[in-house]
Amino acid sequence: MRKMFAAAVAALAAAVLMALPASAETAAFTVVSSWSSGYQGQVTVTNTTSSTITTWRVELAFPAGTTVAQSWNATQSGTVFTPASWNGTLAPGASASFGFIANGTGRPTSCLINGVSCDGSTTPPTTPPTTPPAGSTPVAANGQLRVCGVHLCNAAGKAIQLRGMSTHGLQWFADCYNDASLDALATDWRADLLRVSMYVQEQGYETNPSGFTARVNSLVDEASERGLYAIIDFHTLTPGDPNYNLANAKTFFANVSARNAAKQNVIYEITNEPNGVSWAGIKSYAEQVIPVIRANDPDAVIIVGTRGWSSLGVSDGSTSSEITANPVNATNIMYAFHFYAASHLDNYRAEVQRAAASLPLFVTEFGTVTYTGGGTVDLASTTTWLDLLDRLQISYANWTYSDADESSAAFRPGTCGGPTYAGTSVLTESGVFMRNRIRTPDNF
C-alpha cells in the first residue's frame, strides 16, 4: 500500500507542477486570464498510475506581494488546497482541477503535492539539506528534526523513525525517573526518546504550575544529557476539550519553549487525547497554541492530538479525512495517533495506513494491552502494529516506563524503589517485549 501510494505521489508531482520559474506555464498550472493587478490560475492534479488514490493536498508558494484571494473546486487554507467533497478520489487516469484568483502578478515559485516537492524530491527546493552532526547518540546522529513530506526527518533530510518510552504521570511516579532508570533507557534499552507526560488535571499541572514546569524542564535536561529526544506532553485527558486548558497551555508552552529553545532534542505535544470535541475545536486550539511556541522556538516539531482520544477520529466514528480536508494552518507539525493493541485492531490499522499517505503521523502513546492500561498483554496485535509503524517509518513511544500496578507498565511493581533498572529481571511481560523491540538497530 505504501509503495503504491508513493508511486501515485510521484506521478501526481509530475502532473501538478515541476520546477516553476516566475513565468512558467505547464499543462498542470495554467494562467487562464490575467490583468494588471492579478490573474486567474488553474492547477490540475492527474493520477497517471494504475491504482486509485483517495486524497490529495497541494501547497503552493508565491513571491512576496502575491496572495490567493479566492478559490473554487478545492478547500483552501491559506495557500494549501485539499479536495472538495466530490473530487478527492481519483481513478487511474482521472484528473481534478481547481482554480484561484491571485492578487499580484507573481506565479507560484514552488509546490508540494501530499507533502512531497512537485519536482520529485522529498523537501522543498528552498530548504536544502544540511549535514547532521556525527555521534553515537540519537540526537548527535540526527540533530534538529523537521517534518519533510509525511515523514519525520533528521537534519540531513533523511526520513527516520524514533522509538522510545513514555513516562507515567509525574505526580504519581516521579521516583521512576532518576539517573539509573534514565541511564538504562538510553544504554540498555537503546531508546531514542523519552516522552515526558505531564498531566494537567488529576493532581497535575493546575495544582502547582511552577513545580510541574520545573520538573518537566529537569527531565528534558536529563534526556539531553543522554542524547535522547524529549517529547513535552501536555497531557490533557479529562476534560477532553483542550480549549478548557487554553490559558494554561499558553502559559506552560511560553515558559518551556523559551527555556528550551536552544536545544535540538525537544518536541512539543500540545494536547494528549482530545475527546468529546470536534476536529474544528482541536484545530482552533492548535492554531492558538502553536504561535506561542513558535515565538520562542521556530524550528521544533510540534505534534497535535486528534479527535477520539487521538485515534484520527476512528473512536468517534469518523476518519482522518476531516484532517486532510481541514489541516492545521501551521508548518513543521505532525498529528498524534494512539492505540492499545488488545482493543484497537484492523480497522484502526487500516485508517493509519490510509492517513499516513498524506499526513505526518507520530504515535506518541500506545500500549500492548487494552485501552484501560490493563488486561492481557496482546503480543500478536502489538507485533502487527509495530511492523506497520516500522514499514511506514512512524515514530512511537510506549506507555509506560513505570512500575504502575498495571500490565502496560514496563517495570514490575516496586522496581522504582530499588537500584536496578537494566536487564530483564525487573521487567514485566510488556517491558521485556518492548525492550527487545526498541533495542533493534536504528536506521539513521
pLDDT digits (tens, 9 = 90+) for 10-28: 344 434 443 333 332 233 6
Residues 267 and 409 grouped into a single domain:
yes
Work out the percent of the chain whose per-residue pLDDT is above 70.
88
Residues 102 and 171 grouped into a single domain:
no
Residues 322 and 419 grouped into a single domain:
yes
Helix (H, G, I), strand (E, B) or coil at 8: helix
User: Taking 70 as the threshold, does the pLDDT of residue 283 lie above it?
Assistant: yes
The whole-number pLDDT of residue 117 equals: 58
C-alpha to C-alpha distance for 107 and 124, rounded to whole angstroms: 16
The whole-number pLDDT of residue 342 equals: 94
Q: Is 206 one of the annotated active-site residues of the chain?
A: no
Domain end (from 65, 84, 117): 117
Residues 244 and 384 grouped into a single domain:
yes
Q: Is 273 one of the annotated active-site residues of the chain?
A: yes
User: Taking 80 as the threshold, does the pLDDT of residue 54 lie above it?
Assistant: no
Q: Does 133 fall in a domain?
A: no
Helices 246-260 and 209-225, packing angle to 10 deg: 40
The whole-number pLDDT of residue 14 equals: 36
User: Taking 50 as the threshold, does the pLDDT of residue 70 lie above it?
Assistant: yes
Q: Does 91 fall in a domain?
A: yes
Domain end (from 62, 87, 117): 117
Summarize pLDDT for 365-406 with one digit per residue, the tens: 999 999 999 999 999 999 999 999 999 999 999 999 999 999
The set of residues, in sequence order, having a beta carbon less than 8 Å from that of 235 and lying 6+ positions away, is: 169, 197, 198, 199, 200, 204, 272
- C-alpha cell recorded at residue 258: 523559551
Domain end (from 117, 149, 174): 117
Q: Which of 269, 322, 365, 406 is catalytic?
A: 365
Q: Region 246-260: what's the mean pLDDT?
A: 98
Q: Structurally, how many domains does the chain consist of?
A: 2
Mean pLDDT of the chain: 88
C-alpha to C-alpha distance for 72 and 41, rounded to whole angstroms: 11
Q: Does 411 fall in a domain?
A: yes
Q: Which of 59, 222, 269, 273 is catalytic?
A: 273
**Rounded alpha-carbon distances, angstroms, from residue 156 to 128, 163, 216, 321:** 9, 19, 29, 31
Residues 102 and 205 grouped into a single domain:
no
Summarize pLDDT for 74-124 with one digit per residue, the tens: 888 777 788 887 888 888 888 888 888 888 888 887 777 765 555 544 444
Q: Does 128 fall in a domain?
A: no
